[in-house]
Amino acid sequence: MERQRTRIALALWAALVVLFLWTPLVIIAVYAFNESNIQSWPISGWSLHWFRVAWHNDDARSAIWLSMKVALLASGIALVLGTMAASAIHRFRFFGRESISFLLILPIALPGIITGMALNSFYVFSGLPFSIWTIVIGHATFCVVVVYNNILARLRRTSPSLIEASMDLGADGWQTFRFVTWPILSTAVVAGGLLAFALSFDEVIVTTFTAGAQTTLPIFILDNLRQGQQLPIVNVVAFVVIVATIIPVTISQRLTRETGLLRRR
């Protein structure tokens, strides 16, 4: 439909945007293999030295371990609550339905600092001591939203007649769930869970307010960046984090072909 010249110009623009998006990621990957501990470009030589150093760094290890635990718990909670909320909103018409579906968007519509501060004042106000659970609650707020959106999108595209047909053919509620609803939902659930995991693993703003003195991986990275310390280790950890988030995101992408945050019709 567009003229040849326009098409070429647009293709060029698209290529430039992709270049813009990917150059910084590639540069970090290159720095991870830097042999020197000075961050200058181009790097002086290639080496795996800092991978070994990072592997033996206790702070980095415990930070990764804490982040893993938090991400697992937060995405677990999000899976349960998000699935329940999406099913309820989709299936029933009840009082306050609109306001609940609005409230569920708040954690991503409000700036993270607000969610973080609100939870922080709530913890202080109610005298709750900081623990792994205070971080998990903080992360669960936005993880729930991700799972909820993924599942709701799937439910909306599913024809209700499938469930009616199953009921007409004599299946009880559990059988319908087991043989009709679950197979339809399962990939959306897995994808939502993986995205929630990736988000939680990476979250820093809400975490700074809910962690107290604990150090998750993003906080470990942030502290070192601020003080300009252990940058070669940060490079390696950053590279590993990029690779580690790419895996769940690619899988979830294959499962749904949806974006998680945004539902496509």
Partner 1 sequence: MLAFLCIYIASLVVLFVSGFWTIDSFSGKLIHEWTLDNFEQLFSTNDPTYWRITGRTVGIAFAVTLTDAVLAFPFAYYMARIASRRTRALLFVLVLLPLWSSYLVRIYSWTTILSKDGALNWSLNGLGLPDANIAFTNWAMWIVFSYVWLPFMVLPVYAALERIPDSYLEASRDLGAKGFGTFRTVVLPLALPGVVAGSIFTFSLTLGDYITPVLVGGPSSSFIGNVVFNSISTNIAFSAAFATVPVMVMAIYLLIARRLGAFEAL
Q: Which of residues 199-238 bind partner 1 (CB under 8 A)?
A: 199, 202, 204-205, 208-209, 218, 221-222, 225-226, 234, 238
Contact, 193 vs 79, CB < 8 A? yes
Nearer to partner 1, 14 or 169 (CB): 14
Output the smallest distance, CB 52 to partner 1, in A.
21
Contact, 225 vs 8, CB < 8 A? no
Binding mask 15-54 for partner 1 (x = CB under 8 A): --xx-xxxxxx-xx--x------xxxxx------------
Nearer to partner 1, 163 or 236 (CB): 236
Which string of b and e fits 100-123 if b means at least 16 CB within 10 Å?
Answer: ebeebeebbeeebeebbeebbeeb
Of residues 92 through 111, those in contact with partner 1 by CB under 8 A are 100, 103, 106-107, 109-111
Nearer to partner 1, 44 or 175 (CB): 44
Q: Is 119 in the site for partner 1 (CB under 8 A)?
A: yes
Q: At which residue do the structure tokens 């004599």 appear?
A: 170
- Region near partner 1 per CB under 8 A, out of 9-17, 49-57, 58-66, 152-160: 9-17
Of residues 69 through 88, those in contact with partner 1 by CB under 8 A are 81, 84-85
User: CA 162 to CA 168: how far, in whole Å?
Assistant: 10
User: CA 180 to CA 175: how far, in whole Å?
Assistant: 8
Nearer to partner 1, 65 or 102 (CB): 102
- Region near partner 1 per CB under 8 A, out of 56-64, 116-124, 159-167, 172-180: 116-124
HEC states along 24-62?
A: HHHHHHHHHCECCCCCCCCCCCECCHHHHHHHCCHHHHH
Rounded to 5 degrees, what angle do the CA atoms 195, 59, 143 make?
20
Binding mask 154-193 for partner 1 (x = CB under 8 A): ----------------------------------------
User: CA 210 to CA 60: how far, in whole Å?
Assistant: 20
